[in-house]
Amino acid sequence: MTFADKTVVISGASRGIGADAARVFAAAGANVALLARSTSALEELAAEIGDKALALACDVSDYAAVEAAFAKARSTFGSLDVLICNAGLIDPIARLQDATPADWAQLIDVNITGVFNMMHAGLPHLKAAGGGSVLTIGSGASQRPLEGWSAYCTSKAGAAMLTQALHLEEGDNGIRVLGLSPGTVATAMQREIKASGLNPVSQLDWEDHIPAEWPARTLLWMCGPDADEFIGTEISLRDESIRKRVGLV
């Protein structure tokens, strides 16, 4: 698709996949509304990108904050066309009996309720633009339990079901919904996982992880017609054929 005059809202945009997605979409001509709780890193990224970027401090688990951020983005750029539900936590990394209930609940609030909040607040804006794409970030952790990841695995399974539910309800109304399971990515989250020493993922070497630019470029590709056959499903970057179609190999 052509991204001129299109606006992409990215949560968790201050680092990792979200930050690289902001750079990739802006380079393709899109306006980018950047959401994160960390305002200093967000403002640095917006300054790097320039006039096409808008930094918006926002906790996605707070519905009113999401609604206000979307309204500001639309009033600034004129429309909202793509939502990238990227914000996510990995903590608490702890065996279930050792996890702090408040931390467990906070992860669920961000990783599941945050996705719902973006979908619910974003739908009126996408429909006003004549349709659009909603992209979620999945994980292989949604398919199997991993020691110390009870909250994360549960949240990613929930987010995957939200992706399917939105497709079921809004797929005939011009809303393209797709998920991306990126595999393990060289981000700060992987350093937290490594430090935990729990489960096989913490034993991976840094060189085993893909760069954040790969999922960012895949998200851009997912907005175009070549990805239409995958609407309503989750794409895996472990799949060599997907990497080839995106142009990563």
Please state, for a pLDDT cut of 90, what percent of the chain lies above it.
82
- What are 73-90's pLDDT values in tens digits? 999 999 999 999 999 999
Active site residue 63: no
C-alpha 8/C-alpha 33 separation (Å) is 6
Task: Give the pLDDT band of residue 230 (cuts 50, 70, 90).
Answer: very high
**Domain-wise residue ranges, the chain:** 7-244
How would you label 200-220 residue by residue, b for 16+ Cβ within 10 Å and e otherwise? Answer: ebbeeeeeebbebbbbbbbbb
Q: What is the reported pLDDT for 8? A: 98
193 pLDDT tier (thresholds 50, 70, 90): confident
What pTM was computed for the model? 0.93
d(CA 199, CA 188): 18
Res 192 pLDDT > 90: no
Residue 51 — very low, low, confident or very high, per pLDDT cuts 50/70/90? very high
What band does 248 get if pLDDT is binned at 50, 70 and 90?
A: very high
C-alpha span between 242 and 237 (Å, rounded): 6
pLDDT at 204 over 90: no
Residue 180 has pLDDT above 80, yes or no: yes
CATH class of the structural domain 7-244: alpha beta
> 152, 154, 214, 235: which is the annotated catalytic residue?
152
Give the pLDDT confidence of 117-131 residue by residue, as tens digits: 999 999 999 999 999
Place of tokens 């987010």: 159
Mean pLDDT throughout 196-216?
A: 84
Give the chain's mean pLDDT. Answer: 94
pLDDT at 19 over 80: yes
Q: List all residues 6 or more positions away from 158 whose beta carbon is below 8 Å from its beta carbon.
A: 108, 111, 112
CB 11 within 8 A of CB 88: no
Q: What is the mean pLDDT of residues 129-139?
A: 96
The identity of residue 227, as a single letter, is A
**What integer is the mean pLDDT of 32-58?**
95
